[in-house]
Amino acid sequence: MNIKVDINNLDDQKVVSVAGEIDAYTAPKLREAILPLAEEVNPNITINLKDVSYMDSTGLGVFVGLLKSVRKNNGQLNLVELSDRLERLFTITGLNDIIDISSKSEGGVQ
């Protein structure tokens, strides 16, 4: 399966829309696309996962690495529009306690 990553600027925020499956094959492409965003000064990143149909532990690892980088650069990371399945995955792993997650779109993110 392929993954599609679109990055847009919305005021001082980077809005990333991800579509497809995030697994061992596609996670490197996702990491390559979004990690540079976290290296900016005070990054403000919102990732819309509305069109992600599947994610495994490799995908979770991408988001943990992104969060570490965002925090190191005094930034903010938000995940929005997660499916029930993805929300459960983040809850089961406890990542919902360290990453800001919303099932609803926020901040003009569509």
Domain 3-102 class in CATH: alpha beta
Distance CA 89, CA 78 (A): 16
Rounded mean pLDDT, 83-97: 95
Q: Where are the domains of the chain?
A: 3-102
pLDDT in tens, 20-38: 999 999 999 999 999 999 9
Q: What are phi and psi of 17, to 5 degrees?
A: -105, 125
Q: What is this structure's pTM?
A: 0.89
